[in-house]
Every structure is written in C-alpha cells, then in structure tokens.
Amino acid sequence: MTVYIAYEDISYKECLTRYEKKTRNLLRFEDMLNELTQHNLATLWNIHFETLSKDPVGQSGLRPLSVLSLLTPENIPFELLEADDNVSLPKDYDDLCKDENEFEATRDLLVRLVLIKKHEHSLSLHRLVQKAFYFSQSGNKTNPRQEAFNTAVKLVNAKFPKTGGVASLYEHWEESTLTVDVEAEVYAEPIDHTDLHEDLQVKAAEEFQQSECSRLLPHCQCLATSCVRQESTRKHDRLAILPDFEELLKNCAWNLYEISESPESLTLVEIAQRACTDKSSLLYSQLCNNAGCVDFEMNRNVACYENLSKALEIRLNLLPHDHLDIANTYRKLSLLTRDNFDHGHELVKSKPKSMLRADMLYKRAFVQTHLGQYGKSLYDLRLAIAIAEDRKVTGHVARSIWWKANVVERQPVHERLKENDIRSLKLRAEILKAAILEDGSLGNYLKI
C-alpha cells in the first residue's frame, strides 16, 4: 500500500477510498478469497495492476510481469528474458526482450513497485503476486494472456538444449550458459575444499553449478501446468498451442528421462501428446518414441508397445526406409519383445503354475525314460511334482512320484538312490493313490 501511495502520489484517505471501491467490484478469482488476508491483498494488487494498465510507463511494466507470472517464481535468469534476433516473438514483446535498455527500465520499475525482486543474476517474485496478476483484470484477458504465454514458451524454448531422433542431452548436463543466484544464507561461509573428501568436493561443486537443463526445467513445468489448467476452460478461452511448446516439452521430457525422473517425464510427454495438433507429424512420432522409452523403464509394456508402434507407423510414412530413426524404433520394439520373453521364461522356470505345463512335463518325462534319458526325465518330473503340489492336484502328484520311482529303478546301479529312498517314493505314491480312490474322485489321473 505504501508503494502504491508513493507511486500515485495520493493521500492515505484517497487510497482508502479507492480500496473500498475496488473491494466491491473485485473480480473473484479462484483460491484468492478464502481468507480475509488474501482478500485484502487481492484488492490492493488489483488496484495496483489497474493503475499500471492506465499509465504508458506502467503498461511496459505489465508486459514482463505477464510473462513472469507464467514461470516459476524463483531463479529467473536475466538471460532468459533476453531473446536473440532469430527468435520470433509477439509484436508487443519483441522490443522488450531484444532492447536491453528497455528491459532494464521495465525491470527496475517492477522492482521499485515491490512486485519483483532483483538479485545479482536473476529475478524472483512472490507466488501470490503471480497468482494475483494471473487472475486479475489485467492478466486474465484472453489475447494478452495468449501473447504472454507464446512469449514465455519461445523464450524458454530458445534457451533449452535441443535433441531429436537418437540424439542425447547428456552433453548438456554439465553445460551452463545461464547464471542464477544461490541463497546467501545457505552458503554464508566459503567452503574449504582442501579438507573435504573427493566425493564431497564433487557434491559441493554440483550444488553451486547447475546445468542449463536443470535451471530451465522448473519453468517448463510451470508452462505445462498452465496448459493443463486451461484444458478445463471454455474452448474459445483456451490457449492456442504453438509448435515451440510441443518441442519444448519433448526436450524437457527427454532430459527428465535421461536423469531417471520417469514419472515426471511421462507427465510432460502426455501433456505434449494431448496438445499436439498434428498427430501425424514427425514431432508427434518423437513424442510417442519418448513416451515408449519411459513406459519401458516403468514396465508399462502395453503402453510402451502402443507408443512405439505409433511412432514407427508415422516414421514409415514420412522417412526413407533406411532412416536411422526407423531402425532405432525397430530396435526398441525388439528389445521390448525380447525383454518380455526373457522375463516370462524366468518366471516359468522359477515358479511354474500351469497344470497344462505339468501334464506336458510328465508326458515328456515318460518318453525320455523309454529313450534312456533318465537325468532329463527326473528333472521334468521334479518340475511337474512342484506344479501339482502347488495347485494341490493330488492325482498328478501321485502319478508323477510313482513314475519317478520307476525311473530311479531303471537307472544304472551307480546312479541309483538308496533302496529305502525308492521304497519311500513308492509308499508316498501308494498313500496318495489310496486317499484318492477312497474319495472316489480323480482316480483316472493315476493312469499312465
């Protein structure tokens, strides 16, 4: 309030009059009026924003504020809001982001109005300021919001490292062209690396030096949140999605996948897939490819197959038959199939459950016995007995044990079990047989 009075050069009484008037006409945006404190803050901010919108100098300050309200509130590098000449921006933002003097003037204006904070290398603002502006009369108009969203997307996308096809972002992990500020209270005293273990030195260095990808990821995720939020609004009020946004989400999602943040990566990919307007484009095939890779890591095999198949279908239609991306997709599909086969084979070997398999094992053991392959026969009988016991099919257990005793008897003398072990097998089979016959069920299972 003090800043507003100073900016408008009005008396305290005049400020209260405007405050009361604005309170009656306040736009009730979501989640901002639950408490009296928020109600008061919302009123003050709306007065502030409305006043700025009527002043030519203030209007120049609202433009960067509209972009900042769409980004994460902390650590917004100065360089992020500076666009190169080859980046095409909406008309109202083109001069702002490419004219260093104008950018500094509007930035300093917002600092004087206590709407943002300026640090050595970055900007920050309060989350409530972001939300208040986003839902204010100045910030919630469709066309200005669309231009602000397009500008924010283009600025972040211009700085975020690119990848495509089989390319990786590994080389950008340690790369840094953006500078942000570290909280002073966290690192109040310099660290003496000479007394640290080598691993601790590496950790300390990583805390001070973030990669370019990691600095921009939070801003990308904020833009994705804005996209999700507007999906539930009326169709004519929704934000139009640019190809730059799809490209940005694709690259951010791939970076998250490479650093093993699979759930977050999948979230961004799915947002990009829904937002993509041309679902027969190479960009959409790359999104499907990224989703398939994440699905594979998360053991979502059905979704993985569907996404990779869709990517392959698009690439076969648009790319030469010998293109590397097509070969790469075939490789991933083969790995998925091979991985499923190996996993299933191990499960069958370790914990077989199917009675059909037990029956086939018994019959194969019967044939192997007559071929003199006693070792293989005993191995199959052991598996058949384990399955039958697990499924509690007593008839199968009895006949398999009985035949196991016969196989042991046919073995050469030096390979046989002790005679009492053979008798024990036959006795167990007889007991099971007697129990089944007494019960009157499954007696036919004992026939060989």
* Same-domain check for residues 238 and 265: yes
pLDDT attached to residue 291: 93
Structure tokens at 157: 């996308």
Q: Which residues contact 179 (CB under 8 A, 6 or more apart)?
A: 77, 78, 79, 121, 122
Look at 378 and 23; give whichever has higher pLDDT: 378
* Same-domain check for residues 330 and 402: no
* Same-domain check for residues 344 and 382: no
299, 319, 350: which is the final residue of a domain? 350
Q: Give residue-wise pLDDT tens across range 72-119.
A: 998 898 888 888 888 888 887 877 777 777 778 888 888 887 788 888
* Same-domain check for residues 276 and 319: yes
Domain count of the fold of the chain? 3
* Same-domain check for residues 268 and 370: no
* Same-domain check for residues 344 and 267: yes
Structure tokens at 242: 């640019």
CATH number, domain of 307, equals 1.25.40.10
Is 250 inside a domain boundary?
A: yes
Is 202 inside a domain boundary?
A: no
Is 75 inside a domain boundary?
A: yes
Q: What is the DSSP letter of 25?
A: T
* Same-domain check for residues 360 and 346: no
* Same-domain check for residues 343 and 361: no
Is 290 inside a domain boundary?
A: yes
* Same-domain check for residues 346 and 387: no
* Same-domain check for residues 222 and 314: yes
How much of the chain exceeds pLDDT 70, in percent?
65
End-to-end, the C-alpha distance of the chain in Å comes to 95
* Same-domain check for residues 147 and 224: no
Q: What DSSP line would sit under 282-308, residue for residue?
A: HHHHHHHHHHHHHHHHTT-HHHHHHHH
Boundaries of domain holding 41: 2-159
> Average pLDDT of the chain?
74
Asked if pLDDT for residue 346 goes beyond 80, the answer is no
Tokens 């960009």 appear where? 283
320, 350, 380: which is the final residue of a domain? 350
330, 350, 370: which is the final residue of a domain? 350
* Same-domain check for residues 243 and 258: yes
Q: What is the DSSP letter of 124?
A: E
Structure tokens at 209: 């030096």
Is 371 inside a domain boundary?
A: yes
Tokens 């790359």 appear where? 286
Q: pTM of the full predicted structure?
A: 0.60
